[in-house]
Homo-oligomer: A and B are copies of this chain.
Amino acid sequence: MSNDVIRDIGEQGVLKRLQRFCPSDIVGDDAAIMPNPEPGQLLVVTTDVLVDGIHFSDRTTSAEDVGWRAVAANLSDLAAMGSSPLGITVGLSLPGDVAVSWVERLYQGMSECLQPYNTPIVGGDVCQSPVITVSITAFGQVLPQRVMRRSNAKVGDAIVVTGVHGGSRVGLELLLNPEFGKDLNEKERSRLIQAHQRPKPRLDILPQLWDSLASQSPIPLTAMDSSDGLADAIAQICRASGVGAVVERDAIPIPSVLPQLTSPEQVWDWVLYGGEDFELVLCLSEPLAQVFVEKFAAGSAIIGYITSGRSVCLRDSTGKYADELLTLSRGFQHF
């Protein structure tokens, strides 16, 4: 890779460099012909925007990681709808003094995240801006009976998480603060940093969920991803469904090394409000939840139940903590 910056090669030059990341039969026109949803499947679409200095920073995120995370955020939204990906478009705006290699590494990271799902970058736009902004739109497909919505939770449903929370926020702290977590061994450290830099969208969970459901009559499914924090996801589901929840603190899976790294207050703040773990929060009938957690989805757990009323209460059966109400407002909010 050379030391060229974007200004040296211009718009046409950038587009030419980026074409190798896209299927050659798709790009090069005013618009792209996309893979159609298969017969009987619904088309699903989601958009996420990442801004330099707001969502990522050179201190903690390489170009590859920015690309990976931008794609992961979108694929996670598709997973939360129960859908599998068909393709993405990329709207990229950036200053002329950005290195060409940075942009190529950005696309490299996007491609790596897309690769396991055979999902193409089908098009996009590149333009000038004072600040690097990556806007990704992802398309997926889902069978109508498998659509998952935030608004379908029912009183008595078990609340299931598909993995640990807090890992991404701890990984970020390890990158920001050299004094933090000095006693961690290399494997633990790198696992937590990976959780921040290379989060995996939980598309792998969907076939397992459908297997758990196979013997059931179809019911409307409930899910949201935890990109804005676990507490936010539960609170959003409850608001959209007009219900409340009780969550058991002890039941929430967290990284095993987390309690020894910082104060209990910090631990729970990161677990509940840290965000960007990109797990799914599902509400399932109790028997279905048991089957799903025990037989199919290793690492997942039932963390609570949907209740009537509207409050989301975090309980502690060990008596160490007082009951706490979870709210939307403590999660990450722009502006």
Does A127 belong to the interface (CB within 8 Å)?
yes
**Residue in contact with A32 in the complex, picked from B12, B45, B49, B125, CB distance below 8 Å:** B45
**A199 to B332 CA separation, bound complex (whole angstroms):** 39
Complex Cα gap A42–B47 (Å): 21
Complex Cα distance A41/B33, Å? Answer: 10
Q: Which residues of B contact A80 (CB under 8 A)?
A: 29-31
Q: Is A55 an interface residue (CB 8 A)?
A: yes
Instruction: Please determine whether A48 and B123 come into contact, CB atoms closer than 8 angstroms.
Output: no
Assess whether B334 is in contact with A128, with CB atoms less than 8 Å apart: yes
Residue of B nearest to A94 (CB): B335
Q: For the complex formed, measure the closest distance between the CB of A224 and the CB atoms of chain B, giving whole angstroms.
A: 6
B-side contacts of A96, CB under 8 Å:
335
A131 touches B131 (CB 8 A): yes
On chain A, which size bracket covers the interface? 35 or more
- Asked if A266 is at the interface of the complex by the 8 Å CB criterion, the answer is no
A30 touches B53 (CB 8 A): no
Q: Which of B31, B129, B138, B240 contacts A44 (CB 8 A)?
A: B31
Write out the residue numbers on chain B whose beta carbons fall within 8 Å of the beta carbon of A264: none
Copy number of this protein in the oligomer?
A: 2
Q: Which residues of B contact A45 (CB under 8 A)?
A: 31-32, 34, 87, 89, 122-123, 137, 139
The answer to whether A51 touches B89 (Cβ under 8 A) is no
Q: Which residues of B contact A91 (CB under 8 A)?
A: 47-49, 91, 135, 137
Q: Which of A31, A46, A140 has most chain B Cβ within 10 Å?
A: A31
Asked whether A1 is an interface residue with its Cβ less than 8 Å from the other chain, the reply is no
Q: Is A294 an interface residue (CB 8 A)?
A: no
* Known contacts A33-B42, A48-B91, A125-B135, then 4 further A-B pairs from the complex at CB < 8 Å, ordered by chain A residue: A28-B150, A31-B81, A31-B140, A47-B137
A-B residue pairs in contact (CB < 8 Å), sample of 27: A28-B150, A28-B151, A29-B151, A31-B45, A31-B138, A32-B46, A33-B43, A34-B43, A36-B41, A37-B37, A37-B43, A43-B43, A45-B89, A45-B122, A47-B91, A47-B124, A49-B93, A49-B125, A51-B93, A51-B128, A51-B130, A54-B127, A91-B137, A125-B135, A128-B335, A131-B131, A135-B135
